[in-house]
């Protein structure tokens, strides 16, 4: 089946301009053109999904372009492509850890504001014990309230 750039953009939940950008950057080397218009086929979605993942993990365009060039060279570049994927997988793992830390911080902030709102003042939160059940909270500096802040 064939698809227009807008149909593909809608299916992938991206802007058509994103796909045009990919094409302008040489990231869609096998896309057919009919009368100068890009025509996507079912086989293109596998590649588009990979590109979308690379974009979503903020892989630099320069690296994506390198990956595309290596993929076009075939089996001779299998090891290089494998190494690139492992490197990006490590980056994803690092991003996941960072997001987990951010999530914990926002859980703390949610608890903080909910408690302060219920009491009508933030002072109530300051007086609550530092240990809260099943909730890892920020560590308040030891000199807090002792002239340090």
> Range of 67's domain?
2-97
56: in domain = yes
73: in domain = yes
pTM metric for this prediction = 0.69
Total of domains in the chain: 1
Q: Which residues pair with 34 in a beta bridge?
A: 37
Contact between 67 and 54 under an 8 Å Cβ cutoff? The reply is: yes
Please report, in tens digits, the pLDDT of each residue of the chain (149 residues total).
999 999 999 999 999 999 999 999 999 988 999 998 999 999 999 999 999 999 989 999 999 999 999 999 999 999 999 999 999 999 999 999 989 888 888 888 888 888 889 889 988 877 665 555 444 545 433 443 444 33
Cα–Cα distances (Å) from 6 to 10, 38, 67, 83, 135, in that order, read: 6, 10, 25, 34, 46
105: in domain = no
Burial of residue 46 (number of CB atoms within 10 Å: 0-12, 13-18, 19+):
exposed
Provide the 10 A C-beta neighbour count for residue 18: 15
Closest CA to 23 of 11, 10, 35, 39: 39
pLDDT confidence of residue 120: 93
CATH label of the domain that carries residue 12: 1.10.1660.10
Task: State both tokens at 1.
Answer: 């089946």
CA distance 28 to 57: 18
30: in domain = yes
Q: Which residues pair with 3 in a beta bridge?
A: 40
């Amino acid at each position: 089946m064939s698809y227009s750039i807008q149909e593909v953009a809608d299916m992938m939940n991206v802007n058509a301009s994103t796909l045009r950008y990919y094409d302008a950057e040489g990231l869609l080397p096998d896309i057919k053109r009919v009368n100068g218009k890009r025509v996507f086929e079912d086989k293109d979605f596998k590649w588009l999904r990979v590109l979308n993942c690379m974009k979503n993990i903020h892989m630099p365009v320069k690296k994506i372009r390198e990956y595309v060039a290596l993929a076009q060279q075939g089996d001779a570049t299998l090891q290089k492509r494998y190494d690139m994927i492992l490197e990006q997988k490590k980056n994803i793992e690092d991003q996941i850890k960072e997001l987990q830390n951010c999530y914990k911080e926002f859980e703390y902030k949610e608890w903080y504001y909910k408690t302060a709102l219920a009491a009508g003042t933030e002072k109530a939160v300051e007086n609550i014990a530092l240990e809260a059940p099943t909730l890892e909270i920020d560590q308040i500096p030891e000199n807090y309230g002792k002239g340090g802040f």
